């Protein structure tokens, strides 16, 4: 199998190179390891597609190594690797053109995600040429998709603030990345913030950073996401979840792009492009007094609505083809086709989880299938959706009997996935499209235990 791309890892810790080799070579990438900045610069002659660069190196450090790389390769994607205590240097590297960063200890799924993002930036994506995609992995061809594409093309070259709105799973972060990659800031950092994931007490320090001693546990200074995104793009996902007090502070920074770290005195100025996203009706939230009207108008400079998948049925065959190729390549499986009946089910299903749900359904089915994805490989929610609609009295056992059948199928599906993942629960949860806690609860509910 041809290599998906060559990855150069510059880190003096041998185990880091081993981690990258284990994670990426299994996914079809070629990995080359280097133990110093000087040697890493020499290895640019081997024409890597992506470089992973540690900040702390013997001899010249990561910052100087990046400067030398930029003299030789101006557009080569470079991803920094760092620990929290060296985050200031990581920010400096991103200003020098690093496209992303990894926090140690390394997370395997994050490594693969960053590699794919970096390959898109570098124009070296090894996805099959018959898959038509836009920057950021947006896939489609229907009228709704083309309208979004036109809006991205219009707004990307500007510095206008963009507000993306639509249901969960419609691809808001992918759209934000597409705007960034098509902009003049594409060589700089794209920094996402999930405004729904952090409590109010942590959100301010996450956005604006803090100085050592600012609060209990602040053992060192740390820059916030605004500093990390300087000269690049800051993506504020689910902005409707911010508290009123954080909204007020955010508004001040958007009006005058400067702030003070928590516990600090020095004024920090930044130049960034802001893309915000929400699945809430912000205008209704304004009327209810839950969202500031001045902030709403500040972020809604250029709105883009993302259409739910149930209204994009003409894009489903292309999306299925894209995700089938993507996941069969990632997992190195022989699954190459989808049963026609599967496509029929997909185009009649309501897709409450939108594209994210479709992606998870294909990923799970690729693990379970041998050569072709059939109806039996689909999640129970999709398999039974049409049966309940088309023939509501076909089950003589009634609703209770149907629930028993669904539970049995769900148990078998979870068991099969666990076996495929060699009982690695984290991997199984990702394949199933659920979090680890949900999988743990489902295993308890169905009495599933790992064999000794």
pLDDT (0 to 100) of residue 397: 47
Residue 80's closest CA among 173, 207, 233, 191? Answer: 191
277 DSSP β-pair partners = 164
2-22 confidence digits (pLDDT tens): 567 899 999 999 999 999 999
pLDDT (0 to 100) of residue 126: 35
Spatial CB neighbours of 144, under 8 Å, sequence gap ≥ 6: 307, 311, 312, 315
Spatial CB neighbours of 317, under 8 Å, sequence gap ≥ 6: 343
79 DSSP β-pair partners = 52, 100
CATH number of 310-446: 1.10.8.60
Residues lower than pLDDT 70 in the chain = 1-3, 84-92, 94-95, 117, 120-137, 386-406, 433, 435-437, 452
Prediction pTM value: 0.60
Report CA Rg, the chain. 23
238 near 256, Cβ under 8 Å? no
Percent residues over pLDDT 70 in the chain:
87
Superfamily of domain 133-307, CATH level 4: P-loop containing nucleotide triphosphate hydrolases (3.40.50.300)
Would 6-122 and 133-307 be classified into the same CATH topology?
Answer: yes
pLDDT (0 to 100) of residue 399: 47
Give the position of tokens 């920057």: 135
Structure tokens at 21: 């080799």
pLDDT (0 to 100) of residue 251: 92
Q: Where are the domains of the chain?
A: 6-122, 133-307, 310-446
pLDDT (0 to 100) of residue 84: 55
pLDDT (0 to 100) of residue 250: 93
CATH number of 6-122: 3.40.50.2300
């Amino acid at each position: 199998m041809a290599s998906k791309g060559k990855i150069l890892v510059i880190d003096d810790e041998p185990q880091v190179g081993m981690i990258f080799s284990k994670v990426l070579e299994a996914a079809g990438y070629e990995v080359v390891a280097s133990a110093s900045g000087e040697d890493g610069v020499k290895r640019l002659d081997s024409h890597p597609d992506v470089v992973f660069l540690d900040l702390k190196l013997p001899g010249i450090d990561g910052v100087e190594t990046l400067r030398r790389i930029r003299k030789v390769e101006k557009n080569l994607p470079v991803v920094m690797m760092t620990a929290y205590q060296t985050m200031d240097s990581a920010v400096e590297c991103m200003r020098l053109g690093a496209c992303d960063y990894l926090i140690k200890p390394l997370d395997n799924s994050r490594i693969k995600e960053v590699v794919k993002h970096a390959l898109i930036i570098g124009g070296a994506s090894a996805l099959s040429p018959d898959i038509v995609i836009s920057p950021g992995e947006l896939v489609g061809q229907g009228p709704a998709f083309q309208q979004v594409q036109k809006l991205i093309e219009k707004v990307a070259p500007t510095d206008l603030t963009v507000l993306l709105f639509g249901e969960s799973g419609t691809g808001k972060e992918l759209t934000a990345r597409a705007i960034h990659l098509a902009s003049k800031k594409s060589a700089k950092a794209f920094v996402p913030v999930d405004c729904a994931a952090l409590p109010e007490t942590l959100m301010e320090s996450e956005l604006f950073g803090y100085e050592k001693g600012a609060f209990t546990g602040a053992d060192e200074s740390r820059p916030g996401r605004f500093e990390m995104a300087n000269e690049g793009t800051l993506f504020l996902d689910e902005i409707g979840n911010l508290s009123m007090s954080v909204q007020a502070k955010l508004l001040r920074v958007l009006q005058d792009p400067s702030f003070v770290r928590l516990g600090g005195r020095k004024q920090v100025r930044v130049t960034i492009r802001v893309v915000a996203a929400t699945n809430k009706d912000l205008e209704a939230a304004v009327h209810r007094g839950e969202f500031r009207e001045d902030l709403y108008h500040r972020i809604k400079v250029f709105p883009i609505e993302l259409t739910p998948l149930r209204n994009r049925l003409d894009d489903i065959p292309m999306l299925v083809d894209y995700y089938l190729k993507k996941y069969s390549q990632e997992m190195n499986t022989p699954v190459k086709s989808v049963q026609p009946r599967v496509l029929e089910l997909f185009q009649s299903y309501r897709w409450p989880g939108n594209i994210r749900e479709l992606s998870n359904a294909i990923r799970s089915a690729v693990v379970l299938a041998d050569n072709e994805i059939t109806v039996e490989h689909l999640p129970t929610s999709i398999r039974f959706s049409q049966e309940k609609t088309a023939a509501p009295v076909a089950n003589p056992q009634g609703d209770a009997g149907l629930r028993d059948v669904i539970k049995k199928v769900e148990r078998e599906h979870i068991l099969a996935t666990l076996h495929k993942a060699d009982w690695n629960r984290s991997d199984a949860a990702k394949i199933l499209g659920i979090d680890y806690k949900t999988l743990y609860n489902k295993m308890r509910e169905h009495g599933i235990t790992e064999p000794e």
